Copies of this chain bind each other. A is one copy, B any other.
Amino acid sequence: MFVRNQWYVASWDHEIDRQPLARRICGESILLYRRFDRSVVVLHDACPHRLLPLSMGIKEGDNIRCRYHGLLIDSEGRAIEMPIRSERPHKSICVKAYPVVERHRFVWVWIGDADKADAKLIPDFWPCSRSDWTFDGDYYHIQCDYRLVIDNLMDLSHETYTHQGSIGQHEILEAPIQTQTDGNHVTVTRWMAGIDAPPFWRNALKQEGPVDRWQICHFLAPSSVIIDVGVAPVAARATLEHHDQGVRGFVIDALSPESDTSCHYFWGMARNFDVNDVGFTARLKHQQGAVFREDVAVLEAQQRSILVNPDLKLRGFSIDAGGVRARHVIDRMIQAQHAPGGA
């Protein structure tokens, strides 16, 4: 079960152009393309005539013509030309058009009742859109329940073992965490005061000496995690409330369920340093690919193990507090939509 009446990332902005892209979000097959004015169209991916995927169709201007019998559909999902051109299409011949907003480099689609769509509900990924920051990332497809990825991201202690060959560090396990819930927003904070910066951050800061380091994971319902990371020299007196004194980044993780056991993962990193260094950006994206393959091996094996052990339950240790609370939020939202009058 998925949380409905929510915005989900359907794609990166750069994935969509004039030709249709087919994708499945929360079990719904959609196609995406851009109009000449660059605005994005999202339609249900089945011709209202004989259900052939419209994504196989022929683009004609901003419309799309079915590859089978040529029913012409406009970008609002209405049939505007019948296979026999002299016939007039009845207005009931249409496909569902999905509310769509392009923001923060992503294409967001509203899964649920169209009349409830409100762009104000889109999670605030502000670091992805600020002119003094830079942002890029990649798309991955994983064969697991999206909630396993959220668990993974809300508990960075896994880096020590899962990523022991790449980015793992014992310091992360040793630093205490604080977990807070505020409505549907869950935060896991790890503040490491006066430590040696690890190589990545020392290079970013371009100086030696003790630093304060932070990792603040924000779960934004229903399925995003953004992680505020960085270091500042101890002398700069950074605090949990104000820590822009050094180098800072946001790891952006937007998950969109595809099916019960597969999901789309949109990963990126926004940063406020070396913002014009495109080589740095490219290396970051490349290196993340290798780290990510370690996560995928774990996540997909975990999913298979869950399926063959239906009698076993996932346990929550103290390190899992963030993921456990995020799941509580998701469960509560799903229950609410089943309640009388629920969304």
By a beta-carbon cutoff of 8 Å, the part of chain A in contact with chain B is 24, 29, 45-46, 48-53, 56, 58, 65-70, 82-85, 87, 93, 151, 155, 157-158, 160-162, 164, 173, 297-298, 301-302, 304-306, 308-309, 312, 314-315, 317-320
Q: Which of B67, B93, B317 contacts A69 (CB 8 A)?
A: B317
Q: Are B51 and A161 in contact (CB under 8 A)?
A: no
Task: Tell me the minimal C-beta distance from A325 to chain B in angstroms.
Answer: 16
Chain B positions within 8 Å of A320 at CB level: 50
Q: Which of B24, B45, B84 contacts A318 (CB 8 A)?
A: B84
Task: Tell me the minimal C-beta distance from A48 to chain B in angstroms.
Answer: 6
Q: Are A301 and B83 in contact (CB under 8 A)?
A: no
Q: Which of B65, B155, B301, B309 contacts A161 (CB 8 A)?
A: B65
Chain B positions within 8 Å of A45 at CB level: 305
Q: How far is the CA of A49 from the CA of B298 in the complex (A)?
A: 13
Task: Tell me the minimal C-beta distance from A289 to chain B in angstroms.
Answer: 19
Given the interface contacts A67-B161, A68-B298, A161-B67, does A53 sit within 8 Å of B305 by beta carbon?
yes
Number of copies of this chain that the complex holds: 3
- 10 extra interchain contacts, Cβ-Cβ under 8 A, other than A50-B320, A51-B302? A29-B308, A29-B309, A51-B314, A56-B297, A58-B161, A69-B161, A69-B317, A83-B317, A87-B317, A87-B318
Q: Are A309 and B58 in contact (CB under 8 A)?
A: no
Chain B positions within 8 Å of A155 at CB level: 69
Q: Are A312 and B46 in contact (CB under 8 A)?
A: yes
Q: How far is the CA of A24 from the CA of B305 in the complex (A)?
A: 12
Q: Are A52 and B305 in contact (CB under 8 A)?
A: yes
Task: Return 16 A-B CB contacts under 8 Å, by A number.
Answer: A29-B308, A29-B309, A45-B305, A49-B317, A50-B315, A50-B320, A51-B305, A53-B304, A53-B305, A65-B161, A67-B161, A69-B157, A69-B161, A70-B157, A70-B160, A93-B315
Chain B positions within 8 Å of A151 at CB level: 50
Q: Are B66 and A161 in contact (CB under 8 A)?
A: yes
Chain B positions within 8 Å of A164 at CB level: 58
Q: Are B312 and A68 in contact (CB under 8 A)?
A: no
Chain B positions within 8 Å of A58 at CB level: 161, 164
Q: Are B69 and A158 in contact (CB under 8 A)?
A: yes
Q: How far is the CA of A306 from the CA of B53 in the complex (A)?
A: 10
Which B residue's beta carbon lies closest to that of A259? B308
